[in-house]
Chains A and B, each alone.
Chain A
Amino acid sequence: MAKRIMVADDDPAILDVLKQILEGKGYEVDTSTGASILTELPEFLPDLLILDIWMSGIDGGDVCKKLKRQKATKHMPVILLSANKNVGKIALKQGANDFIVKPFEMNHLLKKVKEHVL
């Protein structure tokens, strides 16, 4: 069965490219524009959540922190994504499993995804 990845970003083009890249490698991809990500997560959790930090209306860092505090979601791997160079520090602070700086190299993204989708 294909591994499922959820991608949340408020920029449709980013969602489109991430979907293409990940589906090209055989992953099953769901997307969210972010604002209501917490309610959009399916009961059957994805194998990985890729979460943009700076989204309109919602802070991806806060979302990550909430998910990592809830019993039901805390084991779901989260990769934070941002153009902010401090994304590494934010990831550490909010308990994310990893981070990716925008813009990214495709190979780097795929390597990180592979590491966390088990």
Chain B
Amino acid sequence: MARKKSPKKTKGTVRLLSINSLEDALKYAQDIIDTVREPFLVLDDKFRVVTANPSFYKAFEVSQKKTEGVSIYKLGNGQWNIPKLKTLLENVLPKKREFKGLEVEHDFPSIGKRVMLLNARQINHAQLILLAVEDVTKEKRHEAQRESSENRFRSLIEKSADAIALVNAKGRVSYASPSTESIIGYTQQEFKKLSNPFKLVPKDERKIITKIFEDLLKRPGTHAHAVYRIKHKKGYLIWIESIMTNLISDPDVGAVIINYRDVSKRKELESQKDDFIGIASHELRTPVTSLKAYTQILQGQFKKYGDATANQNLVKMDAQLNKLNALIGNLLDVTKIERGKIVFNKERFDFNDLIRNTINETQFTTSKHKIYLRGVVKKRVFGDRERIGLVLANLLTNAIKYSPQAERIIVRVSAKGEMATVEVQDFGIGIPNENLIKVFDRFFRVQGDKADTYPGLGLGLYISAEIVRRHGGKMRVKSHLGQGSKFRFSIPFKGKREARAFKPENAKNQA
């Protein structure tokens, strides 16, 4: 372990140790042993302890006096008389001359259960055995805890009623949880053998789901949510709700995780609800239709008799009936929007004409406010005339409702590039900054400073924003508390035709 070096040659180089006597050598060895942090023993050929390091004394709570010169088997009242150690020392070591990393577990009466890693080497010329005893009890305990928590998570996944599948970028399944079978009828093994699980999705929907999946692949770490149908092993279709998470670049997962559940029952209830709302809105519209018609017949009759006041009241009554009809329409539309089922009846129409008509109709619902129209849009717009009119009617109804002290409302229309824009300005209570982003939420309603509540369903702006968005336009709001609000929306002149293809519910990606 040491080399003799001539002092002359050490100049300018590292001075190496010079050992001149056995005493030096032993001292040197002892120093090394003492500084090693692992418990360490030197045994002679009769397995008696020649020396041990401080770390050994500390770890196994024994004293130097009772250790040196004592056979390892008799150490600390025979605590070290461990059969496995005995085999290692007496049978393995003489043949192999060394062993490494052998794990021995032993319950020491003094210090309790320990797990040790033993490394030993026989030094033949000195008839000595070097034995390092690494205490890995703590590490073992951590490992066991980790394992048990792994088992816990595994069983959470495996016993979950929701099914989980891991799919690679090509759609190949690398893992399918046991719930697979209870949901879609295929066993885990059968499901894994499918070359692509999306083949179970009916053709029309498959294209869309595949597109959603491919879009998701482009954005690591994000989710996509989709509700679609899938063919059960027994041949019938069921509704599935999936959340896909792209963890392909996560080294621990390396796949897209698809969590899914059977939502067929929910879909059935939803369709019953839709039917109900469809019937209810039809039933509500029928009396509104005849009421409106009677009102207009009466108007004609009073006109004949020259009763101007009665006629004026009937005009107001008619305007209220329009408002009632718009409310019924909102109620029906909101359920359609929620389900992604709203269908627009797009046509080319005179924008200015629609704006003027809507303002005129709404004017009859207020005697306090005067609605002014500024600007003109001469181009025709391609879109759902009735629903775009509904957007303006909703904004005007809000402007009237939230400016009870004001007397004017200003509507500005203009053509900007490819868009027709409409702005409705009121001089009312305004909206506090923190609520500005919430006004387009479903069921959101503005509250006045005295916590006055204003009547309404809280659907108008939500539906309006959705109608504008689906036409490829934008809706914005600016507001100053106590001074009023400005709502502005834009609609492109050349709207796109509605896609007729099936659209899975909520099929959108979210970051």
Chain A positions within 8 Å of B, measured between CB atoms, are 11, 13-14, 16-18, 20-21, 24, 54, 83-86, 88-89, 101-106
Given A14-B286, A103-B321, CB of A83 within 8 Å of CB of B281: yes
B253 to chain A, nearest CB (A): 46
Q: Is the CB of B293 within 8 A of A21?
A: yes
Which of the residues B285, B287, B343, B386 comes within 8 Å of A13, measured between beta carbons? B287
Given A83-B281, A103-B325, A106-B297, CB of A14 within 8 Å of CB of B345: no
Q: Is the CB of A14 within 8 A of B297?
A: no
Q: Is the CB of A14 within 8 A of B289?
A: yes
* In the bound complex, CA of A104 to CA of B290 (Å): 9
A77 to chain B, nearest CB (A): 21
Can you list 5 pairs linking A and B with CB atoms under 8 Å apart?
A17-B293, A24-B300, A83-B281, A103-B288, A106-B293
Most buried by B among A16, A24, A88, A103: A103
B292 located at the interface, meaning its Cβ lies under 8 Å from any Cβ of chain A in the complex: yes
Given A24-B300, A105-B296, CB of A86 within 8 Å of CB of B343: yes
- Residue numbers in B under 8 Å from A84 (CB-CB): 282
* In the bound complex, CA of A21 to CA of B321 (Å): 18
Q: Is the CB of B282 within 8 A of A17?
A: no
A53 to chain B, nearest CB (A): 10
Which of the residues A21, A86, A105 comes within 8 Å of B297, measured between beta carbons? A21
- Residue numbers in A under 8 Å from B293 (CB-CB): 14, 17-18, 21, 103-104, 106
B294 located at the interface, meaning its Cβ lies under 8 Å from any Cβ of chain A in the complex: yes
Residue of B nearest to A53 (CB): B282
Q: Is the CB of B289 within 8 A of A20?
A: no
Most buried by B among A16, A104, A105: A105
* In the bound complex, CA of A84 to CA of B321 (Å): 17
Chain B positions within 8 Å of A, measured between CB atoms, are 281-282, 285-290, 292-294, 296-297, 300, 321-322, 325, 329, 343, 345, 386
Given A14-B286, A102-B285, A103-B325, CB of A88 within 8 Å of CB of B300: no
* In the bound complex, CA of A17 to CA of B297 (Å): 8
Q: Is the CB of B386 within 8 A of A85?
A: yes
Q: Is the CB of A20 within 8 A of B285?
A: no
- Residue numbers in A under 8 Å from B285 (CB-CB): 83, 102-103
Most buried by B among A16, A54, A83, A104: A83
- Residue numbers in A under 8 Å from B321 (CB-CB): 103
A52 to chain B, nearest CB (A): 9
Given A102-B285, A103-B285, CB of A86 within 8 Å of CB of B290: no
- Residue numbers in A under 8 Å from B325 (CB-CB): 103
* In the bound complex, CA of A86 to CA of B498 (Å): 13
Which of the residues A13, A24, A89, A101 comes within 8 Å of B290, measured between beta carbons? A13
Which of the residues B286, B297, B343 comes within 8 Å of A83, measured between beta carbons? B286
* In the bound complex, CA of A86 to CA of B207 (Å): 27
B8 to chain A, nearest CB (A): 107
Q: Is the CB of A16 within 8 A of B343?
A: no
- Residue numbers in B under 8 Å from A105 (CB-CB): 292, 296
Q: Is the CB of A83 within 8 A of B289?
A: yes
Known contacts A17-B294, A24-B300, A104-B292; 17 further A-B pairs (Cβ under 8 A): A17-B290, A17-B297, A20-B297, A24-B297, A83-B282, A83-B285, A83-B289, A84-B282, A86-B345, A103-B285, A103-B289, A103-B293, A103-B321, A103-B325, A104-B289, A104-B293, A105-B296
Q: Is the CB of A102 within 8 A of B297?
A: no
Given A20-B297, A106-B293, CB of A88 within 8 Å of CB of B345: yes
Task: Give the 10 A-B residue pairs with the shortest CB-CB distance, closest first.
Answer: A17-B293, A83-B285, A13-B290, A103-B289, A106-B296, A102-B289, A103-B292, A11-B286, A83-B282, A17-B290
- Residue numbers in B under 8 Å from A83 (CB-CB): 281-282, 285-286, 289
- Residue numbers in A under 8 Å from B286 (CB-CB): 11, 13-14, 83, 102
- Residue numbers in A under 8 Å from B288 (CB-CB): 102-103
- Residue numbers in B under 8 Å from A106 (CB-CB): 293, 296-297, 300
- Residue numbers in B under 8 Å from A13 (CB-CB): 286-287, 290
B201 to chain A, nearest CB (A): 28
Residue of A nearest to B386 (CB): A85
* In the bound complex, CA of A79 to CA of B325 (Å): 22
- Residue numbers in B under 8 Å from A101 (CB-CB): 386
- Residue numbers in B under 8 Å from A103 (CB-CB): 285, 288-289, 292-293, 321-322, 325
* In the bound complex, CA of A62 to CA of B321 (Å): 31
Residue of A nearest to B278 (CB): A84
- Residue numbers in A under 8 Å from B322 (CB-CB): 103
B247 to chain A, nearest CB (A): 43
A89 to chain B, nearest CB (A): 7
Residue of A nearest to B333 (CB): A85
- Residue numbers in B under 8 Å from A104 (CB-CB): 289, 292-293
* In the bound complex, CA of A101 to CA of B286 (Å): 11
* In the bound complex, CA of A85 to CA of B390 (Å): 13
* In the bound complex, CA of A17 to CA of B288 (Å): 12
- Residue numbers in A under 8 Å from B281 (CB-CB): 83
Residue of B nearest to A52 (CB): B286
* In the bound complex, CA of A50 to CA of B297 (Å): 19
Q: Is the CB of B345 within 8 A of A85?
A: yes
